[in-house]
Structure formats: structure tokens, C-alpha cells
A and B are shown apart, each in its own frame.
Chain A
Amino acid sequence: MGEDIDTRKINHSFLRDHNYVTEADIISTVEFNQTGELLATGDKGGRVVIFQREPESKNEPHCQGEYNVYSTFQSHEPEFDYLKSLEIEEKINKIRWLPQQNAAHFLLSTNDKTIKLWKVSERDKRPEGYNLKDEEGRLKGLSTVTSLQVPVLMPMDLMVEVSPRRIFANAHTYHVNSISVNSDCETYMSADDLRINLWHLGITDRSFNIVDIKPANMEELTEVITAAEFHPDHCNLFVYSSSKGTLRLCDMRASALCDKHSKLFEEPEDPSNRSFFSEIISSISDVKFSHSGRYLLTRDYLTVNVWDLNMENKPIETYQVHDYLRSKLCSLYENDCIFDKFECAWNGTDSVIMTGAYNNFFRMFDRNTKRDVTLEASRESSKPRAVLKPRRVCTGGKRRKDDISVDSLDFTKKILHTAWHPAENIIAIAATNNLYIFQDKVSSEMH
């Protein structure tokens, strides 16, 4: 990851940002597709914006591969559950792309209750020369038709059409927090606080419940499901994380209901770190399989952990994201920040992991060199083509110029959602209502 840390080698292109301050524009999920050509974002207002990477131009090598808006559509609308007198938020919790199988692209988007399958297709030709309709589409009078013509496909301005192909509804009592497409490309799962359902992409009127941790007596509830993901290669394996800081690997071949895990990944709690808030900061907010399928990446409030699927008793690597907050948990509880759910991401080669933090900072950890860097996503520090400067939070001791003290961190600026291009060093960072895309370009002059 030398190129990321070494600022001399980094050139970044800056994507337009949306300068709105309405809550509906707050980005709630970010996801690259499998090739990295498309980037989808979902927001609190239920909209999905898809960006497409421009093909690299030989004329302007520096303008290569910028992301521009490809399509925008309203995925979910606010709904009202009359039975429970509850409003169902339209906020997009997750977007997952399906592997591309033909010219069209498909993605799944979900809010708290309903998952939708969207088809994104391009239209760049349209038929002209109809016999019965004129150019505006009005029916011609039959008496005016004196000869027959064959309609011809004529080029037109590129139009991106998005249409809902499936709506998977009424399967979740609790709030959906994750969706994950299976490697078989036929099924996917959706997870809420207490249950995980398996769907077939073609069938909307039923799903199979594969995990159910709801206790018979709700008073005995001790943990909830916080995230779930299918293994990238083995279509029978999936993992789900809990609010107690545990991970469970389940094998769907073992039984229809995977309440009994195949492997349980849990690190014993360090008794010296006990506080009022120990339990809630150990809650895992995100889990991601590595691209290789060998490792798991988890994020809890203060750390990111890498787990080896072959070792259940502790993670193989632990990285402190912002340990200086450990002494401030009470204040973070008061301002609700302690409940923030940060996501994490692998790079394409599984050598670097990334996660967000406060003050619009995000952190990257190189697993090989053990180096880490803190960068900031903000308009002030990110002019187009500017090099991102590493930031430091000073925690007492020697303070350098440009260091930020813990007390001056802005906790309203949090980076919860980040994504890494599957193959290249391009990252997408959602900072409240702004999307930043950083690309890493190694200059040809550099060795």
C-alpha cells in the first residue's frame, strides 16, 4: 500500500459533491459492482444514484476513469404499516449488485422491510417509421396509410432505463440490515435483527427462513443479528455477526434451519476494559469476507479485526481505529455517537483494509507492512487532483502542526459507508451527503 501512504505518488480526482443539507440526501450505502465500472449510492430519501466510470481516454491520460452520474431513480417510498401504526422509512439500507450476465445490470436495494430487484439497461436506438403511429406516437388515420414500411432502428441519445423487476416484501418483522447475493447467482439472503431469509431471485411470494434467533420469550433476548454475508465462492456458506461481538459461520447443507452454527468466532472480553459500555462497543457493525474467502473483516466501535476462517478463538489481526475515544465513551453515549454503525472494506488483493471514523476521517491499514494512515474527506482538503494529506489525531504528548486534538473532532461528520473498487485503488467515501471518490495514480515518472 505504499502508494497510498506516500503522498507524492498520489493523485486524486474529485467527484462533484452534492451541496444539499437536507436529511434526505444523506448517503446511507455505497457499493461498487463486480467490475468496478458502476458505483451505486443509496440515500435516506430512498433514491439510488448510479455512477459510471468513463472509459479511459488516450487523449487525456489525466482524465482517465472519472465517475459520472449514470442514472438516478427513486427506489423506495415511505410507507405506512397500518397494522402496527408504524412508518416504514424509505432509507436505503443496502445495495448489492448482481453479477452481470447480459447487457443489462441488476441490483438489489433494500429499506427496512422490502427488497427490490432493479434492472438497469441502456437504450441507444429506437425504432422509427411505424405504419400506424406518427413520429409523436399518435395513431394515424388508417385512410392516410397508403404503403407499408418496415420500422428501422435509428440511433438516439443514450437513455438509461431502470425498472423494478421483483419486489420481495412482507418477509421481515424487524428491520432489514443486510442483503447478500449468493455465488450461485440464483439466491440471495436478507437479514433483519432476528432472522435471516433465503430468497430465490425469481420468486417473490415466498422465502425460506434459515436463521431464527428470536427467543420464545422476548424478555430473554440478549443479542441481535447485525450483519450477514454469503461466502464469495462457496454457495453453502454464510456468516452473520451479532451485537455481542460474535460471528457465526453457517453451512446450509447441514440443516434447513441454520440456528446451529458450524463455527463460532468469538474473542473473550478483556476484563480490564470493562465499563458501562463494554457490551455495546463490542457489537459488530459490519462483516465482510475477503475476496479470497479465507478471511473475515469485522468492525466494532473502536477496532477492525481480521479473522481467519480456520481459527475461531480470536482474530488474527486487530487494528485500533480510534482508541482515543475509549475514555470518552460516556460523552459518546450522551450524543448517541456510540450507536454509529461503521462499515469496513477490503481492497481487491485483501492486503489493505479501510474503515471510516469521525471528523470525516477514514483509516486504512496495510496488513503486510502494518502501516496505517488517516485521511480526511472534505472539500477544503481535497481539491481536484490534490494529494490527500495524512492526518493525525493527537492524544496528548508531543503535538505536531496540523494535528487535531481529540476534543476538536467533529462528531457530526462521520464516515459510515466506504467502498473499494474490486480491482483498482479507487475508493468511494460517503461523508454525510457528499460522495468522494479517490483514485490512486502512480505517476509514470515515479519508480
Chain B
Amino acid sequence: MELNAEAKRIMALSLGKLYSSRMHRGGMKLHRSLQLSLVMRSARDIYFTAKLESDAEAAGRQPGAPGEDEEVAMVTEAVPAQPAGQAAADPQQSETGTEAHTETELSPEPSCAPAVTQPLTEAPSNVPARTECKPKPAQIVTPADKENTSPGSGSAVPALASDRHTRKRRGNSAAEPEFLPSKKARMEQMKGGESGLHSGSCRGGVSLASALFRTIVAF
């Protein structure tokens, strides 16, 4: 379990570094961002492996409520997804909006953040909804678009199931980014909800890890 906590800590640390690197003079360094994403992937894999083991144990003891987890999972994915989109902004794109959006990563980023990276190693539980979220490379959201997207407006956003969930939950999640370790309550909630390994409900457990990974970019 220490490995699990360590992996989580490293993921949070890496995310912090990724965000702060956007403030660096000279812009984001591609190499450094890539290295951060590699570390996060390693941490995610280890976290995921450990999680699966503990889920397997818990599965026998506590059949949970998948639905809520799924929604939470959706939010967790969508929330960091925008920073991914931001972080992913190719150097060719303007990053004017990025600073403004660093803290507002909770706005409903469209279609699960078009620039969300598909994890290099697929998580075993590949939920259909998530697949829908798979971005087309052409759909990179420019900061201009983000500026035009106001919270709550649905028109600019493709109507995917996940988005509906995202917008619905945004109010709660606006308080604080969920991927930070301080959200213990939610983590426990997700933990309690674990059931199968390969069903959609399991996403609650792996969503944090995979969501964190997704923030790492496609540049």
C-alpha cells in the first residue's frame, strides 16, 4: 500500500510540475514534459496494479454502486482533461488562454478535451463512454474556443454522455481539483464502489490514475 501512496504522491507531484512548467520563461519544454509524462505513466501503472489487487480483495467484501462511481469517474477524467488540452497545445498554437485556464480546468471541457492523450498503455477497463471521448487530432481546442465557451453553455460542446455528466457535476468539482490527494472523501467513495475488474464500474478506481495520465499530453 505504501507503493500505492507513493505512486499517488508522484502523480500529484508530476502534475504540479507540469502545470508550473507552463509558467516558465520560454514556454513548455517538450522534453521535460515528456519525461514528466513517463514518470506519471510509471506511477499510474504501479498505482493501477496495486489498485487492482486491492480491488480484487475488496470485491469479495463490498459490492458497490457502480453508477455513482462512473459519474465521478467521468468528472475526474474531464477535469484534468482540459489542462491536458492546454498542456497539449502544440507550440504552434497560441497559449494565451492557458494561464487563465490553469485554475479553471473544471470548466466542462468539450468532448473530454479533444487533446486528451490516449494512455500509451490501455487500461484494461476500457469503458465505451471513454472511447467516445477519444479525441480526433483535429479537434484540438484552441484557447480562443475555450474563451468562447461559457460554463453551462451546451451549444459549443458536442453532446456526449460524458459531457452531460461533466456539466452536471461541475458545481461540486469547482471547489478543488479532484486529483489532488486531499480529496480523501472522494477517493474512499470510489474505493467503496469497486466491484468487477473489467466492468465499467471499476473505472472509479482506475480513473484517477488514468485521468492523471491523460493530462499528459499530446503536444
The yes or no answer to B128 lying at the interface (CB within 8 A) is: no
A276 touches B10 (CB 8 A): yes
Rounded to whole angstroms, the CA-CA distance of A221 and B26 in the bound complex is: 21
- What is the minimal beta-carbon distance from A71 to any residue of chain B, in angstroms? 26
B26 touches A193 (CB 8 A): no
The yes or no answer to A279 lying at the interface (CB within 8 A) is: yes
| Interface residues of A, count at CB 8 A | 35
Rounded to whole angstroms, the CA-CA distance of A224 and B91 in the bound complex is: 15
The yes or no answer to B198 lying at the interface (CB within 8 A) is: no
Which residues of the partner chain A approach B137 to less than 8 Å between Cβ atoms?
217-219
Which residues of the partner chain A approach B7 to less than 8 Å between Cβ atoms?
276
Q: Which of B192-219 contact A (CB under 8 A)?
A: 217-219
A218 touches B34 (CB 8 A): no
B17 touches A218 (CB 8 A): no
B134: nearest chain-A partner, CB-CB:
A219
A85 touches B96 (CB 8 A): yes
- Of the stretches A50-58, A332-340, A346-354, A379-387, the one at the interface is A332-340
Rounded to whole angstroms, the CA-CA distance of A120 and B212 in the bound complex is: 51
The yes or no answer to A208 lying at the interface (CB within 8 A) is: no
A279 touches B35 (CB 8 A): yes
Rounded to whole angstroms, the CA-CA distance of A405 and B38 in the bound complex is: 31
Tell which of B30, B35, B92 touches A280, judged by Cβ atoms closer than 8 Å: B35
- Of the stretches B39-47, B151-159, B160-168, B178-186, the one at the interface is B39-47
Instruction: Report the interface size class on chain B.
Output: 20 to 34
The yes or no answer to A150 lying at the interface (CB within 8 A) is: no
The yes or no answer to A194 lying at the interface (CB within 8 A) is: yes
The yes or no answer to A413 lying at the interface (CB within 8 A) is: no
Rounded to whole angstroms, the CA-CA distance of A83 and B17 in the bound complex is: 25
Rounded to whole angstroms, the CA-CA distance of A84 and B26 in the bound complex is: 11
- What is the minimal beta-carbon distance from B147 to any residue of chain A, in angstroms? 13
A84 touches B27 (CB 8 A): yes
Write out, one digit per residue, whether chain B residues 2-44 have a CB within 8 A of any chain A CB (1) or not (0): 0000010010010001000000011101111011001100110
B26 touches A219 (CB 8 A): no
Q: Give the number of A-B contacts (CB < 8 Å).
A: 86
B27 touches A243 (CB 8 A): no
B34 touches A276 (CB 8 A): no
B218 touches A219 (CB 8 A): yes
The yes or no answer to B88 lying at the interface (CB within 8 A) is: yes
B42 touches A84 (CB 8 A): no
A88 touches B26 (CB 8 A): yes
The yes or no answer to A73 lying at the interface (CB within 8 A) is: no
B13 touches A333 (CB 8 A): yes
Tell which of A86, A91, A174, A336 touches B95, judged by Cβ atoms closer than 8 Å: A86
B218 touches A339 (CB 8 A): no
The yes or no answer to B111 lying at the interface (CB within 8 A) is: no
Interface on B for A, CB 8 Å cutoff?
7, 10, 13, 17, 25-27, 29-32, 34-35, 38-39, 42-43, 46, 88, 90-96, 117-118, 120, 137, 217-219
A-B contact pairs, 22 of them (CB 8 A): A84-B91, A87-B25, A87-B26, A88-B26, A89-B26, A193-B29, A217-B218, A218-B88, A218-B137, A219-B217, A219-B218, A222-B34, A223-B34, A224-B30, A226-B31, A276-B7, A276-B43, A277-B39, A279-B38, A283-B35, A333-B13, A339-B35
Interface on A for B, CB 8 Å cutoff?
83-89, 91, 112, 173-175, 193-194, 217-219, 221-224, 226, 243, 275-280, 283, 330, 333-334, 336, 339
